[in-house]
Amino acid sequence: MLNRIEHDGGILELNLARAPVNALNLELLAALKEAIESAPVQGAKALVLSGSPGIFSAGLDLIWLLQQDDATLEATWRAFFGCCQAFATSPLLSVSAITGHAPAGGAVIAIHCDYRVMANGPFRLGLNEVQVGLVVPEAILHTLRRLVGTRHAERLAIAGKMVESEEAATIGLVDELAEPDQVLARSLQWLREHLALPGYAMRETRRLARADLVEVVRDSRKMDISAFIAAWKREDTQAALRAAVARFKKQ
């Protein structure tokens, strides 16, 4: 479900491996959060989050989540936002090796890493939460604005727009494109280039540059999980989610 792969130079790859589309359930999210948080203690110097060829992650497993009780529902969303917070606040450099499609939760986790390398081709990425009836929390919007600017963030989030890799790179949603079989290699190269810089200067400058992100993801008012879950339970939200699941099952 989550493979841990060690690469030269102290780089730890966290590979999402929940077939068929790396949909995120509580077990996978809990394992990912634990892996991110424990990596520094275990001696890792940097992290890569990767998926499968053609699919990075399809986001939260809505089919599974709609069948869960309230306790599991809340635990799952807390684990999901916890993964975002863990990447945002980690002392380790991180890269999302976006190996294919990355809608919704897959895109949300990716934008909290330091850098994003995406497979070039007809692969789509975006925060399409509104399309399935979900509200995008302020903390997530802040993270999106940091990457693409206020105007693009507003347009992408309100419409729940998905963009293909070339447009994602043009607007800054991803940092660079690579051929599908080179996404991981390029991610590792970027990390090694940065790890080769004077360590203290790089880490301290990174800390200062990301201070706004860390502050926002730690602010419970801007990552209001209780409000998010209340919105999830709304009748119109549930109708939109079930309609989305019906579409998924036909695909």
Residue 10: partners with Cβ closer than 8 Å, 6 or more residues away:
43, 44, 45, 46, 195
Res 167: pLDDT: 98
* CA angle centred on 150, ends 145 and 156, rounded to 5°: 75
pLDDT < 50 positions in the chain: none
Per-residue pLDDT tens digits for 118-166: 999 999 999 999 998 899 999 999 999 999 999 999 999 999 999 999 9
CA distance 102 to 100: 6
pLDDT of residue 248: 78
pLDDT of residue 132: 87
Residue 249: what pLDDT? 77
- pLDDT at residue 78, rounded to an integer: 95
Identify the sign of the CA torsion 140, 211, 124, 56.
negative
pLDDT digits (tens, 9 = 90+) for 62-82: 999 999 999 999 999 999 999
Residue 119 to residue 98: CA distance in whole angstroms: 6
- Paired strand residues for 16: 2
